[in-house]
Chains A and B, each alone.
Chain A
Amino acid sequence: MTVTDPPIATEVASAGRQARFEIALPWLALAAAGAGLPLLDDSYVGVIAQRACIYWILVAGLNLVVGFAGQIAIGWVALLTVGAYTTAVLTAGTVTSAWDPYLALAASGLGGAVFGGIVGLPALRLRNFYFAITTLGFATIVTQVALAWKSVTGGGIGTPGPVFPWPFDPGWGFYYLCFGLAALATWMTANIAASRFGRALVAIRDAEVAAEASGIARPRWLMTVFLFAGALAGIAGGLFSSLQSYITPDAFTFDLSILFFIAILIGGRGSILGPLLGTIILTVLPELAAPLVAWSTFLYAALLLVIVLAVPGGIADLLDYRNRRPMKQHRVIAPRPELLPQLLGEHRDSAALVLSDIALNFGGVRAIDGLSLAIRSGEIHGLIGPNGSGKTTALNVISGYYAPSSGQATLNGIALPFKAPHTRAGYGIARTFQTPRLIGGASVIENVMIGGTCNGEGSFVESLMGLPRHRRDEAYFKTAAMRALETIGLDQLAAVRADRLQHSELRFMEIARALMLRPTFLMLDEPAAGLSAEEIRRLGELIKAISRAGTGVLLVEHHADLIFDICDRVTVLNLGKVLAAGTPSEIRMHREVVIAYLGA
């Protein structure tokens, strides 16, 4: 039987055209308004517009850090300061010979990237408040240095900003420079957002453990985005110094940091249009309410409090009407295992994943005590045992979260490194979790696409510029993820936000995500928990088909029926030790297993 492209694809394409127009509309309106602004011929409007553009260049980058990666970087004004002083000092010619302003602007971008990396460094290990306070500390330090380093920055007296020569000379010329760069920043961050990099950042934010299992190395991905966001902030700073025409440390108060942060929160996390509107609103608002200027920071702070308490989702959430429509009741998951060969590829080499003599202690508890087992491709290996017998721990050793105190795990004879869960996807080892790890803010299809992240070929820069390899990757991710969803029977829900799914659907979604990797080995941690009898039957068939397609499956489960129904081999654990191993019929007869676990 030849499987043609499923009908769903064409439906998506025609619906896609209208949706794409709907999405493009606000952007076209903004672009037209921005380009036509000089027709008003009002220099006061021009200055506000320049400021909005400059702020947005910074916020666009920060949005990836805060809105996508979920890092609470509250001291981002420090990078604006660095960028502004870099441009101003280089062009002033007091310290070096006077640089060309455009060259100095580029240097600001470079400096911003360096300092963005420095600010971001703590995020590699620190979370939430800890990271927030380090960015706050950095902002405090930068201001103090700007004040104290008089020979370079001019201290409290300040230093003049540059005037950009033709064609971007002051007035509308400079406005077009700001507007052009803002448009460029928007385009680049939108490219990133719609790439595997953007999805990976959201995964790091919402489901870090699942991200690691999909091969996303948190430090490298975060650092990349910090460098990029830093560069944008540096360039924004360079433009800001020219806009201000004279800069002092007072120009970079903490209020600005709050403004940037609120712009993103008002806009909504994981959106680009939202924060852009947020930035415009927050830049224009104080101009309309001039008498309140002394109270501006107070009002920003109050706004922040209200947003956090009342609408944590921001504008983007309010506008996301599609995900508020009621969903169909009594949905049925109907997997189509016959699509598996197409998804996983026809020819698979045979492989073996072998654990030998693994032991692992948690404090005084011996969680695993001399576990040996082998999983072969095309086979389903069941791992059963009472609660606390070490099943999930064994799985976590294989997927590299824990390092055993002795023993090793090998894949085709090659030892797997421990305490490095993000390496497993590269070895073709995929897994699901006991409690589904969903990326709640992303759609179901995006959740699935995450699973294939390390199959992408394009680099961050290629995605940034929307180069062909990035587009090829995206096309591949989309088709493969759609196929995975059809295979497990969730294709109707592809566009729904994952946190709206019911429990059983999340379990199947995790399997789809794991299949995206085209794994050599698939480890399932209690996939049948919480499923109905009919769903368990379908799950069993699906797992069987996955193994027949050449994948080795390790199945941790409590449903004895399912285990004995589909497994080729079964290992029974008790108190961390192997109690028995063999074929299902041998295990079913095993006296000790019956006493310890199965019951008569």
Chain B
Amino acid sequence: MIESIVSYGLAVGAVYAMIGITYNVMFSASRVFSFTSGMLGMLGGVLGALFITKFGLPVVVGLVLVLACGVPIGVITEIVTVRPVLKSLEQHLYVLSTLAFALMVQQLVAIEWGTDAQPFPRLIPIGPGWLDQQFWLPMLACAATIVGLEFLYRRTLVGRAFVAIAEDNYAARALGLPEQGLRVASFALAGIIGMLAGFTGAEMLLAFFGNQSILNFYGFIPVALGGMGSNRGAVFGGLALGLFQQAANFLLGGIFAAVAVFVVFIAILLVRPEGLAGVSTTRRV
């Protein structure tokens, strides 16, 4: 039992962590939390199943195509739902614009793909137990994502520009950084990461349009726990969430596990709204 809690918990936690990172990458560049994060995760699974099972494409081609789809979706998200409302005084409008866009895409999937959960192909036939792809693939993807992002942010010029924008938007613009271009690039990058999360987690979560709201919610918890904008925080938060959720599933049963996760999430947010690792620096008056 312990083994299945740990393997399944870490795997699903890695998916949550990657969705959390998707939130973070968009947030850093725009101060916007986007409901399209869960949508990307959902699409990763659905498009993967579409390309590989329905169209019969090779696995690698399918994966590349899925990730490539993340780019235009990310860019469209930025242009349609974020850019128009960033200018507006009422900043919270982004909550509604991104939600609306995500729902439109979800409904398109529901209509064109169907509302039933469909299986995702088994890509690498080894296993069972720990060696099963559904467990190690999300963890590997999550590790690759965090290592890749750390490399990008610390070692490359573009990455440092991302960091500068996230740290101080005005100062970065004063230095001549193309803020808008970097924001679009961040949304494209987030598109790829979200798609990767959905693709690698889909054997567990299936190709299902309803995953969107689940991933939106459970993917945001790591962000709330780890502090907004912190990718490493999101990884720890995601893995902890996955383990906690699976443990609660086994020990308490399905209903109470969901309630337990929700209660703990709310309790933590109420006690430390800035996240367990975050610092609060707001000046209101």
Using a CB–CB cutoff of 8 Å, the interface residues on chain A facing chain B are: 70, 72, 74, 121-122, 124-130, 132-134, 136-138, 140-141, 144-145, 148-149, 208-209, 254, 258, 261, 265, 294-295, 297-298, 300-302, 304-305, 308-309, 312, 392, 396, 401, 433
Q: In the complex, what's the smallest C-beta–C-beta distance from B26 to chain A, in angstroms?
A: 11
Known: A134-B266, A304-B99, A308-B96. A129 touches B33 (CB 8 A): yes
| C-alpha gap A413/B96 in the complex (Å) | 50
Q: Are A305 and B95 in contact (CB under 8 A)?
A: no
Q: Are A308 and B97 in contact (CB under 8 A)?
A: yes
The answer to the question of B113 belonging to the interface, with a C-beta cut-off of 8 Å to chain A, is no
Q: Are B103 and A265 in contact (CB under 8 A)?
A: no
| C-alpha gap A444/B21 in the complex (Å) | 45
Closest 5 pairs (CB-CB, A-B):
A301-B103, A305-B100, A298-B107, A304-B100, A129-B33
Further contacts, 14 of them, CB under 8 A, given A133-B220, A301-B99, A308-B85: A72-B92, A126-B270, A130-B269, A134-B265, A145-B258, A297-B103, A297-B107, A298-B104, A301-B107, A302-B100, A302-B104, A304-B100, A305-B80, A308-B96
- Chain A residues in 8 Å Cβ range of B28: none
The answer to the question of B157 belonging to the interface, with a C-beta cut-off of 8 Å to chain A, is no
Residue in A127, A128, A136, A433 whose CB lies within 8 Å of B216: A136
Q: Are A128 and B92 in contact (CB under 8 A)?
A: yes
| C-alpha gap A324/B273 in the complex (Å) | 40
Q: Are A144 and B254 in contact (CB under 8 A)?
A: yes
| C-alpha gap A298/B97 in the complex (Å) | 14
Q: Which residue of B lies closest to A122 (CB)?
A: B266
- Chain A residues in 8 Å Cβ range of B93: 308, 312
- Chain A residues in 8 Å Cβ range of B285: 209, 392, 396, 401, 433
Q: Are A125 and B269 in contact (CB under 8 A)?
A: yes
Within 8 A of A (CB), among B250-282: 253-255, 258-259, 262, 265-266, 269-270, 273
Residue in A70, A137, A294 whose CB lies within 8 Å of B265: A137
Q: In the complex, what's the smallest C-beta–C-beta distance from A268 to chain B, in angstroms?
A: 13
Q: In the complex, what's the smallest C-beta–C-beta distance from A420 to chain B, in angstroms?
A: 14
Q: Which residue of B lies closest to A434 (CB)?
A: B285
| C-alpha gap A412/B169 in the complex (Å) | 47
Within 8 A of A (CB), among B1-49: 33
The answer to the question of B144 belonging to the interface, with a C-beta cut-off of 8 Å to chain A, is no
Q: Are A132 and B266 in contact (CB under 8 A)?
A: no
Chain B 68-91 near chain A by CB (<8 Å), digits 1 or 0: 000000000000110011001011
| C-alpha gap A125/B266 in the complex (Å) | 10
The answer to the question of B166 belonging to the interface, with a C-beta cut-off of 8 Å to chain A, is no
Instruction: Identify the interface centre among A72, A133, A140, A149: most chain B CB within 10 Å of its CB.
Output: A133
Q: Which residue of A lies closest to B101 (CB)?
A: A305
Q: Are A258 and B103 in contact (CB under 8 A)?
A: yes
Instruction: Identify the interface centre among A145, A209, A305: most chain B CB within 10 Å of its CB.
Output: A305
- Chain A residues in 8 Å Cβ range of B33: 129, 133
| C-alpha gap A138/B265 in the complex (Å) | 11
Number of interface residues of B (CB under 8 A): 42
Q: Are A128 and B103 in contact (CB under 8 A)?
A: no
Q: Are A125 and B255 in contact (CB under 8 A)?
A: no
| C-alpha gap A582/B111 in the complex (Å) | 77
- Chain A residues in 8 Å Cβ range of B100: 301-302, 304-305, 308
Q: Are A122 and B269 in contact (CB under 8 A)?
A: yes
| C-alpha gap A130/B110 in the complex (Å) | 27
The answer to the question of B235 belonging to the interface, with a C-beta cut-off of 8 Å to chain A, is no
Q: Are A305 and B81 in contact (CB under 8 A)?
A: yes
Q: Are B85 and A309 in contact (CB under 8 A)?
A: yes
The answer to the question of B224 belonging to the interface, with a C-beta cut-off of 8 Å to chain A, is yes
| C-alpha gap A312/B97 in the complex (Å) | 11
| C-alpha gap A305/B101 in the complex (Å) | 7
Q: In the complex, what's the smallest C-beta–C-beta distance from A206 to chain B, in angstroms?
A: 10
- Chain B residues in 8 Å Cβ range of A308: 85, 93, 96-97, 100
Q: Which residue of B lies closest to A435 (CB)?
A: B285
Within 8 A of A (CB), among B80-136: 80-81, 84-85, 88, 90-97, 99-101, 103-104, 107-108, 110-111
Q: Are B258 and A74 in contact (CB under 8 A)?
A: no
Q: In the complex, what's the smallest C-beta–C-beta distance from B284 to chain A, in angstroms?
A: 6
The answer to the question of B213 belonging to the interface, with a C-beta cut-off of 8 Å to chain A, is yes
The answer to the question of B153 belonging to the interface, with a C-beta cut-off of 8 Å to chain A, is no
- Chain B residues in 8 Å Cβ range of A141: 258-259, 262
Q: Are B254 and A148 in contact (CB under 8 A)?
A: yes
Q: In the complex, what's the smallest C-beta–C-beta distance from A314 to chain B, in angstroms?
A: 12
- Chain B residues in 8 Å Cβ range of A130: 224, 269, 273
- Chain B residues in 8 Å Cβ range of A300: 103
Q: In the complex, what's the smallest C-beta–C-beta distance from A493 to chain B, in angstroms?
A: 21
Known: A145-B255, A145-B259, A396-B285. A309 touches B111 (CB 8 A): no
| C-alpha gap A121/B91 in the complex (Å) | 23
| C-alpha gap A378/B174 in the complex (Å) | 49
Residue in B84, B90, B94, B96 whose CB lies within 8 Å of A304: B96
Give 30 CB contacts A-B under 8 Å.
A70-B92, A74-B99, A122-B269, A125-B269, A125-B270, A126-B269, A129-B92, A130-B273, A132-B95, A136-B216, A136-B217, A137-B217, A140-B214, A140-B258, A141-B259, A141-B262, A148-B254, A209-B284, A294-B111, A295-B107, A295-B111, A297-B107, A301-B101, A302-B100, A304-B99, A305-B97, A309-B84, A309-B85, A309-B97, A433-B285
Residue in B81, B85, B90, B269 whose CB lies within 8 Å of A134: B269
Q: Are A298 and B108 in contact (CB under 8 A)?
A: yes
- Chain B residues in 8 Å Cβ range of A74: 95, 99
Q: Are B262 and A129 in contact (CB under 8 A)?
A: no
Known: A121-B270, A301-B107. A137 touches B262 (CB 8 A): yes
| C-alpha gap A141/B101 in the complex (Å) | 23
